[in-house]
Each structure stands twice: as C-alpha cells, then as structure tokens.
Amino acid sequence: MNYELANGLKDAGFPQKEHGNYFRHGTILHSDSKGENIIHPPADCYIPTLEELIELCKGTIIKLWILADGRAGVQLEGQSLEDVIYYSTPTEAVARLWLALNKK
C-alpha cells in the first residue's frame, strides 16, 4: 500500500491503531516484537492489514479475485466479472472498496 492510499483511508475515517505498520512522511515504520511502536510520536497514518480491511467490508465482498500476475479485484453482489476493476494487490483492491463504501 502506498502513502496516498493509506492517508486517504485515514482522511475517510478508517480507524487508526496504536500498534502495527505506519507511514510517516512516506516511510513505513514497523512495530517491535512486543507490538509497540518503534517511533514516538505516532506516525501520520496507519497501514491496515488485508484481514482488517476485509473485516470492515464484511457482507460486501462476494469474491476476491487474485490473478497470476498478483493483481486483485473484488466482485460485489450483482456485479458481473467484466465489471471488476483490478489493482496491484489484494490489499489495495479491498482498501479502494472500503473507500468507495465510506465516501464522506
């Protein structure tokens, strides 16, 4: 996930966690083995996991398609396979779905 997408999730109200991966000025920072942040103060925006994104989109995704080249797309109820938009990774595909579902 790139900084722009992570920051877009933050701006749209995606929950920002205390522990996990973060972007700060375009640089990814990790939590340590105890789950505590390596940096202080907290980073600019949280990078959610694919699992977190799927959980928050529960009931919306019918299928998550992953192609041999690694690109991925989500198929929604009532959507034909021809209408699925593919992104660079499964995480990006589900993040963009979350953004579409949570437009302000």
**pLDDT 10s digits, 17-35:** 877 788 776 455 666 667 6
| 72, 98: one domain | yes
Question: Are the CB atoms for 21 and 29 separated by under 8 Å?
Answer: yes
| 104 & 80 share domain | yes
Let me know whether 93 and 57 are in one domain.
Answer: yes
Residues 64, 37 share a domain = no
Domain count, the chain: 2
Same domain, 31 and 72: no
* Two tokens, residue 38: 């390596």
Instruction: State the residue range of the domain holding 99.
Output: 49-104
Residue range 30-89, pLDDT digits in tens: 666 676 655 544 457 899 999 999 999 988 888 999 999 999 999 988 889 899 999 999
For residue 89, give the 3-state DSSP assignment. coil
Tell whether 62 and 85 lie within a shared domain.
yes
Tokens read off for 43: 């980073």
98 and 56 in a single domain? The answer is yes
